[in-house]
Structure 1
Amino acid sequence: MSRFDATVLLDPPAFPASGYAPLADRIARLLETRNDVLFVQAEAVVALEAVATSLATPALKALNIVTSPYGTLFGGWLRRGGATVTDLVAEPARPVTVEAVEAVLDAAEGIDVIALVHAESASGILNPLEAIAKRAKERGILLVVDAVASVGGHPVAVDALGIDIAVIGPQKALAGPAGISAVSVSKRAWALIDRPDAPVNSVLSLADQKRDWLDKGRGALPGTPPPLEFHALKAALDRIEAEGLETVLRRHARTAAQARAAVSDLGLTAFEAGERASNLVTTVVLPEGVEPDSLLVLEEVIRVELTAGVGPGSERLLRINHTGRRADEKTLRETLAVLAKALGQARA
């Protein structure tokens, strides 16, 4: 196998300051929103921490939905800022139910914010965003959505759903770079974030982003923006727009359906299916007698991106990655062929 020549990435041309605002506008169109879009110059987990840090005050009451380690992290960041947090922890590695959300909202008083992850790559599940968004809108509660894994794989219509803050990372279904992320923020959310006592002089401060970039006309970004990441983001958006977002969404949905049908043919059980399953990842329960540790160290398995589930409840789950450019019938066939071979070796 030929080695990649990393020297081609050295001495990249600068990304023009005039190019940041158009990129933000293109992301806004992708999210179907007229809200502000800003960049966090880091992987999306930093953007999520920035959102929690920027929102959290001792006066804030939040319902934090936990369906993976990312929800646990978000609740911890809110608490660090003094917020009162009610964690709604779903059954391990499973989606939350709308009924459970309603029960907490009925029992709790004065909830200001609901936070949830839309699609979980950790376990391949999909949380019922539309139904939860409806409940949040009915009660006037601000909605924060981690759409890092779902954007491009599932519809994320920010304005139609009433999402106040959406965090995205281009590295999943958009098949872009991992080192840059974006956040859309509604006027209602800015009222909680851009306040006199907001955290400032920090990479975790969205108020800084607003004051230093949005309020100054969206020209040069503060700090030293990474040109490679922005060039790659532009290229990823070029490719998504050339294919068409609706086509990208259908491609992910079609590949996910093919993956679930195929694992059944292999005698495996999909962990989730239908509206409770993500289009990005199919998880299967490994059969008795097949140990994850022995299967996942095989070179071919690693090459086709068959990986272990992440978090509580995922101990015997195997993830089949059909995200981004891997949402393709030929790639899926190759992945499943490796899986069938590896299972045969493990059972022998």
Structure 2
Amino acid sequence: MYKELNTSVCTLMTPGPVEVEPRVLRAMCTSILGQFDPEFTELMNQTMEMLRTVFQTKNHWAFPIDGTSRAGIEAVLCSIIEPGDRVLIPIYGRFGHLLTEIAERYGADVANIETDWGQVFDPQVVIQEIRKVKPKIVAMVHGETSTGCMQPLKEIGEACRELDILFVVDAVATIGGTAVKVDEWKIDAAIGGTQKCLSVPSGMAPITFNSRVEAVLLQRKKIERGLTDASEPQNQQARLIRSNYFDLSQLMDYWSPVRLNHHTEATSMLYALREGLRIVLEEGLEARFIRHKLHEKALVQGIQAMGLKIYGDPNCKLPVVTSITIPDGIDGESVRRMLLQDFQIEIASSFGPLKGKIWRIGSMGYSCRKKNVLHVLGALEAVLIRHKVKVCAGDAVQAALDIYQKEE
């Protein structure tokens, strides 16, 4: 016989998933409504409205894709990429490689530029490459959780708009934790995530896109319905959107007043997203961003007071992820195991060239609070002492408390 589910209570300080807001968990227990019940479709409308505010956009289209964050990325890219389209993807961490793989799977001719992990691009370097490559689409990661770095986007977005290039941004790690200014930065399509700064379980991917993207979708929809001029090339079949589930042109009908059935909506997840967004707006965007910066500052001061080094260029640090260089001769996975087993705290390692070289601590959403920061600092210090690392015992928590006393 299987026992009743009773999972451990952990302090999640990874770059995702993070601890879910208790009010979100309560919302998920709400009674199920039919997906076309007027009460439910009104919740859909409210979710769209709140997403526009969080994305800082006046776009009409702002809704979630059912699936994890990657589902949102795939929905946007597969819906606007036609075979042979030139796509420029600058890479400064793991998730630039993910954008590249997805774009290539849908037939894109991808051009990459790369910089060292722990750095970001000077926007002028990207703009110079845009003028050289002349792509249809530029796709970039805003907050690269694999390194803890954040890419400035405003100048790049302005250059793309000037050159009539679509600008797609992976804002999975940043939405709800730091500013994502879709309209001001001239972003044509942005993808967010629920399981990070929104403090909602993984399972939906909020997206938004503007009329420039909509025009591409509607043109492809005409091809699908055979409404294009007969003189067009014979390879129209190759220009169809390859996915049914991720076809934004169909999802637009589902999220419009037409309510054309596309899939069965993930009812409880929509409740969760709506409540998560409501909580974000109740706190206020600017207040929320200030809160994330405060706890980041306390965490960084504590880490440095302990004698550890922050990894990466501090000028481009992602406010919601702090990367720490693992001291020489230390088994990073042993430290993580002890944190989890003895303190019920989970932090993350990294990928690729940084595997075994850094730890990553997320301070996102509901996990981003004083109790958690002090807990992880004290526990990490204790575990490092057990691993014979020379640390400044007692200084980490005191340094964080100094920040809180000055700025709270």
Q: TM over 0.5, yes or no? A: yes
- Offset from partner CA, 1:245-276 (integer Å, 9 cap, x none): 11111011111122222111011111135441
- Partner residue, 2:230: none
Amino acid at match of 1:347: K
What is the Cα deviation at residue 321 of structure 1? 1.7
Q: Contact conserved, 2:51 with 2:63, CA < 8 A, in 1?
A: no
Gaps of 5+ in 2: 9-25, 224-238, 390-408
Q: Does 1:191 align with 2:224?
A: no
Q: Does 1:304 align with 2:361?
A: no
Q: CA 1:248 to 1:301, structure 2 compared with 1: closer, same or farther past 3 Å?
A: farther
TM-score when normalising by structure 2: 0.78
What is the Cα deviation at residue 12 of structure 1? 4.1
Measure the CA separation in 2 of the matches of 1:76 and 1:84.
Answer: 11
Match of 2:122 among 97, 103, 114: 97
- Partner residue, 1:40: 65
Q: CA 1:52 to 1:312, structure 2 compared with 1: closer, same or farther past 3 Å?
A: farther
- Partner residue, 1:213: 255
Q: Contact conserved, 1:116 with 1:144, CA < 8 A, in 2?
A: yes
Amino acid at match of 2:247: S
Q: Contact conserved, 1:284 with 1:317, CA < 8 A, in 2?
A: yes
Match of 1:232 among 264, 272, 277: 272
Measure the CA separation in 2 of the matches of 1:84 and 1:190.
Answer: 22
* Residue aligned with 2:387, SS: helix
- Partner residue, 2:232: none
Amino acid at match of 1:80: R
Q: Which has the larger radius of gyration?
A: 2
- Partner residue, 1:286: 326
- Partner residue, 1:270: 310
- Identity among equivalent positions (%) equals 23
Amino acid at match of 1:87: N
Measure the CA separation in 1 of the matches of 2:314 and 2:73.
Answer: 28
Q: CA 1:28 to 1:153, structure 2 compared with 1: closer, same or farther past 3 Å?
A: same
Measure the CA separation in 1 of the matches of 2:262 and 2:380.
Answer: 46
Alignment of 1:166-177 (within 5 A): 166-177=190-201
- Partner residue, 2:80: 55
Q: CA 1:273 to 1:12, structure 2 compared with 1: closer, same or farther past 3 Å?
A: farther
**Higher relative contact order, structure no. (Cα contacts within 8 Å, ≥ 6 residues apart):** 2
- Offset from partner CA, 1:24-60 (integer Å, 9 cap, x none): 1110111111211132111111111111111111352
* Residue aligned with 2:353, SS: coil
Measure the CA separation in 2 of the matches of 1:139 and 1:303.
Answer: 51
Q: Does 1:319 align with 2:376?
A: no
Question: Number of aligned pairs?
Answer: 343
Measure the CA separation in 2 of the matches of 1:17 and 1:55.
Answer: 27
Measure the CA separation in 1 of the matches of 2:345 and 2:155.
Answer: 35
- Partner residue, 1:18: 42
Measure the CA separation in 2 of the matches of 1:321 and 1:218.
Answer: 40
Q: Contact conserved, 2:343 with 2:379, CA < 8 A, in 1?
A: no
TM-score when normalising by structure 1: 0.90
Q: Does 1:260 align with 2:300?
A: yes
Bigger shift: 285-294 or 269-278?
269-278
Amino acid at match of 2:161: K
Amino acid at match of 1:82: G
Q: Contact conserved, 2:190 with 2:207, CA < 8 A, in 1?
A: yes
Match of 2:93 among 50, 68, 79: 68
Measure the CA separation in 1 of the matches of 2:350 and 2:381.
Answer: 18
Q: Contact conserved, 1:124 with 1:281, CA < 8 A, in 2?
A: yes
Measure the CA separation in 1 of the matches of 2:190 and 2:73.
Answer: 9
Q: CA 1:29 to 1:301, structure 2 compared with 1: closer, same or farther past 3 Å?
A: farther
Q: CA 1:327 to 1:198, structure 2 compared with 1: closer, same or farther past 3 Å?
A: same
- Offset from partner CA, 1:4-23 (integer Å, 9 cap, x none): 59xx9778422712211111
- Partner residue, 2:164: 140
Measure the CA separation in 1 of the matches of 2:355 and 2:165.
Answer: 31
Bigger shift: 185-194 or 333-342?
185-194
Q: Contact conserved, 2:141 with 2:169, CA < 8 A, in 1?
A: yes
Measure the CA separation in 2 of the matches of 1:260 and 1:94.
Answer: 18
Q: Contact conserved, 2:65 with 2:72, CA < 8 A, in 1?
A: yes
What is the Cα deviation at residue 242 of structure 1? 1.6
What is the Cα deviation at residue 300 of structure 1? 4.8
Measure the CA separation in 2 of the matches of 1:53 and 1:302.
Answer: 43
Amino acid at match of 1:313: L
Measure the CA separation in 1 of the matches of 2:343 and 2:188.
Answer: 38
- Partner residue, 1:164: 188
* Residue aligned with 1:319, SS: strand
Gaps of 5+ in 1: none
